[in-house]
Amino acid sequence: MDRVVRIGAAQLGPVARRDDRHEVVQRMVSLLDHAAEDGCDLVVFPELALTTFFPRWAMDDQEEIDSFFEAEMPGPATQALFTAAKRHGIGFCLGFAELVTDSGGAHRHYNTALLVDAETNEVGRYRKVHLPGHDEPEPWRPFQHLEKRYFDVGPDGFQTWRAFGGVVGMAICNDRRWPETYRVLALRGAEVVLIGYNTPVHNPPAPEHDALSDFHNHLVMQAGAYQNGMWVVGVAKAGDEEGVPMIGGTAIIAPSGEIVSQASTLGDELVVSDCDLDACASYRTTTFDFERHRRPEHYEIITTQRGSTPPD
Amino acid sequence: MDRVVRIGAAQLGPVARRDDRHEVVQRMVSLLDHAAEDGCDLVVFPELALTTFFPRWAMDDQEEIDSFFEAEMPGPATQALFTAAKRHGIGFCLGFAELVTDSGGAHRHYNTALLVDAETNEVGRYRKVHLPGHDEPEPWRPFQHLEKRYFDVGPDGFQTWRAFGGVVGMAICNDRRWPETYRVLALRGAEVVLIGYNTPVHNPPAPEHDALSDFHNHLVMQAGAYQNGMWVVGVAKAGDEEGVPMIGGTAIIAPSGEIVSQASTLGDELVVSDCDLDACASYRTTTFDFERHRRPEHYEIITTQRGSTPPD
């Protein structure tokens, strides 16, 4: 049985603070139309695709903060995306800020990715585990990175779902730098991992890394793909957003670790590849046959402690 | 305090089956002499440096197999290496096949790396955890990879030691493809990881990987360095050994993931870099501050199971 999924990685250029969600959704619908012409089965949008990357600002007013979140999905502004996708028969993965009200009326805030199938039925949602940045505003920074302030850590960890003829996992932005992300997903059978990101070129606490931002972005996703024998689709919100330049580098990466297609702009751009899920087996049944070669009895410290403990 | 360690990665060209250990040690002493001229503090030799890569042959005669192992270290042939190193005041890391006889007279066979300090006092030894290949001869292969047959899995896992002004870890060959290797070592504080390897260009079960052998070699070591903010020194036994071409690509990799020096031949060659152990902090106190950012509560499956279990 043919298990080739044609995936469109739908990079977005910057979204300004004043941009209306309807305008952003129109840009996404254009990319979906494009993807339909190209015969895509699945389109992947970036992290927090509907708004500007708001954790760059220190805000105290919870109502102002919540204005960047979606209390329903689809909602009034996003319905058009679901309608277009259903018309085209294309599934999609969408990153957005999710406001959840539990049965007791308490609010939870997640950095979320939603996956829907070609009928726009929900396949699953992933809530970001590795929140980067800080939780108290640091005035010395030219811009903030307050994800730890505005979001709760995803309580469900890394899950996988059967969809698009294979097994799909999701991760978000900073998750991609952590090898545990890919490994947990691969142990749960993922054959393709969908990852949206917003990555400023400049890292205020470590400006010495800035020149390496693009290199690091691809390095971690390529290693994650190869070491787990799976496809990785990395999708940027890119370009100069509110005066903060962000990397692009949207890429589709094969289980070999090779980038098979890549964005060449920092704007709205669709990158398409045929992803043969059967290509995973070449790695998973040989070099990375986990059952034959892994040695979990020697990995214990990975789960028993968080920080590093050098020898005496 | 200055924590710059000048490390020499001492790549070896092929070692033929008929080569006498004394000849090989003479080649290693030449590289040590070179390293002394270059002011090295530490020289790293490849995996199974003293002999040809014997797991490529199917052998049944245990005496023949044991002829590739060292029952003492230093022994008659390797004493010259220790003598030269002590004279120069250079520490070294040496890969060799280690035969251990326990108190009950039972034999254990390990693929081992030994680390000695500038006085040639033993710092520690590491016994390979991720043995690749197979344990039964497979006649269809042009050459075998019988590490699982000839070696026992290292019982002590990945350890670290204080030496050379920092914290040092070791890994061997196939270990470098597994992200758990670097992570366990980093959680034990490693600032530099020394890795010898013998990697045939051709992988009989997956010839479609052959063209990517060099790419994969660097990809995994660069990702391991960056994702853990540590130096990685990868050292090949390279070139055409008994008709089996092996990759070179000996490299010293910074905590940024950048290759800062690299071999340009497939023969005996010394690659030298000043490794500033304080450079690790730039990554470990920011993006990869484990204590602040890791989420072990979501990693459990990494240690609770060996193989992959896709969803229903």
Q: B256 in contact with A at a CB cutoff of 8 Å?
A: yes
For residue A1, what pLDDT is reported? 63
- Please state, in angstroms and rounded to a whole number, the distance separating the CA atoms of residues A286 and B209: 10
**Within-domain flag for B204:** yes
CATH label of the domain that carries residue A251: 3.60.110.10
Q: B179 in contact with A at a CB cutoff of 8 Å?
A: yes
**pLDDT (tens digit per residue) in B41-93:** 999 999 999 999 999 999 999 999 999 999 999 999 999 999 999 999 999 99
B300: which chain A residues are within 8 Å (Cβ-Cβ)? Answer: 303
ipTM: 0.98
CB-neighbour burial class of residue B2 (10 A; exposed 0-12, middle 13-18, buried 19+): exposed
**Over residues A199-215, mean pLDDT:** 97
DSSP state of B174: G
Q: A135 in contact with B at a CB cutoff of 8 Å?
A: no
B147 is catalytic: no
Q: Is B307 helix (H, G, I), strand (E, B) or coil?
A: coil
- Please state, in angstroms and rounded to a whole number, the distance separating the CA atoms of residues B275 and B166: 11
Distance from CA of A294 to the nearest CA of B (A): 6
**pLDDT (tens digit per residue) in B242-258:** 999 999 999 999 999 99
Place of tokens 């709760």: A152
**Chain A interface, mutation test: which of B174, B294, B300, most A Cβ atoms within 10 Å?**
B294
**pLDDT (tens digit per residue) in A145-188:** 999 999 999 999 999 999 999 999 999 999 999 999 999 999 99
Contact A112, A125 (CB under 8 A): yes
**How do beta strands A4-11 and A269-276 pair?**
antiparallel
| The residue type at B112 | T
CB-neighbour burial class of residue A136 (10 A; exposed 0-12, middle 13-18, buried 19+): exposed
**Within-domain flag for B309:** no
In terms of pLDDT, which residue wins out, A102 or A256?
Answer: A256
A186: which chain B residues are within 8 Å (Cβ-Cβ)? Answer: 308
Give how many domains chain A has, as a whole number.
1
B282: which chain A residues are within 8 Å (Cβ-Cβ)? Answer: 206, 208-209
**pLDDT (tens digit per residue) in A262-290:** 999 999 999 999 999 999 999 999 999 99
**Within-domain flag for B311:** no
**Within-domain flag for B253:** yes
Closest CA to B17 of B151, B143, B154, B176: B143
- Please state, in angstroms and rounded to a whole number, the distance separating the CA atoms of residues A102 and B303: 32
Arithmetic mean of pLDDT over chain B: 98
**pLDDT (tens digit per residue) in A214-249:** 999 999 999 999 999 999 999 999 999 999 999 999
Question: Which are the contacts of B208, defined by CB distance < 8 A and separation ≥ 6?
Answer: A282
Q: How many contacts (CB atoms, under 8 Å) link A and B?
A: 226
Distance from CA of B161 to the nearest CA of A (A): 6
**Within-domain flag for B312:** no
**Within-domain flag for A311:** no
Contact B118, B90 (CB under 8 A): yes
HEC states along A118-153?
CCCCEEEEEECCCCCCCCCCCCCCCCCCCHHHHCCC
**Chain B interface, mutation test: which of A162, A220, A294, A312, most B Cβ atoms within 10 Å?**
A294
**Within-domain flag for B173:** yes
Question: A residues 196-255 near B, CB within 8 Å?
Answer: 203, 205-206, 208-209, 212, 215-216, 219-220, 222-223, 226-227
Contact B167, B161 (CB under 8 A): yes
B93 is catalytic: no
For residue A2, what pLDDT is reported? 87
**pLDDT (tens digit per residue) in A18-56:** 999 999 999 999 999 999 999 999 999 999 999 999 999
Question: B residues 36-55 near A, CB within 8 Å?
Answer: none
Q: Do A187 and B258 touch (CB under 8 A)?
A: no
Residue of B nearest to A219 (CA): B223
Q: Is the N-terminal amide bond of B200 cis, ω within 30° of 0?
A: no
Render A180-224 in DSSP notation, one character per residue. HHHHHHHHTT-SEEEEEEE-BS--TT-GGGGGGHHHHHHHHHHHH
CA dihedral (A206, A210, A216, A218) positive or negative: positive
Of B157, B162, B285, the CB nearest to A298: B157
Render B251-294 in DSSP notation, one character per residue. EEE-TTS-EEEE--SSSSEEEEEEEEGGGGHHHHTTTT-HHHH-
Of A131, A159, A184, the CB nearest to B302: A184
**Within-domain flag for B129:** yes
**pLDDT (tens digit per residue) in B134-157:** 999 999 999 999 999 999 999 999
Q: Do B216 and A257 touch (CB under 8 A)?
A: yes
Chain-centroid distance of CA B254 in Å reads 17
- Please state, in angstroms and rounded to a whole number, the distance separating the CA atoms of residues A154 and A59: 22
Contact B299, A302 (CB under 8 A): yes
Which one is catalytic: B128, B147, B237, B280? B128
For residue A138, what pLDDT is reported? 98
Of A174, A295, A300, the CB nearest to B153: A295
pTM as predicted? 0.98
| The residue type at B47 | E
Q: Do B184 and A302 touch (CB under 8 A)?
A: yes
Contact B199, B74 (CB under 8 A): no
Flag whether pLDDT at B26 surpasses 90.
yes
B176: its two tokens: 């470098």
Residue of A nearest to B228 (CA): A178
**How do beta strands B251-253 and B244-246 pair?**
unpaired
Domain span holding position B182: 4-304
Closest CA to B9 of B302, B259, B295, B294: B259
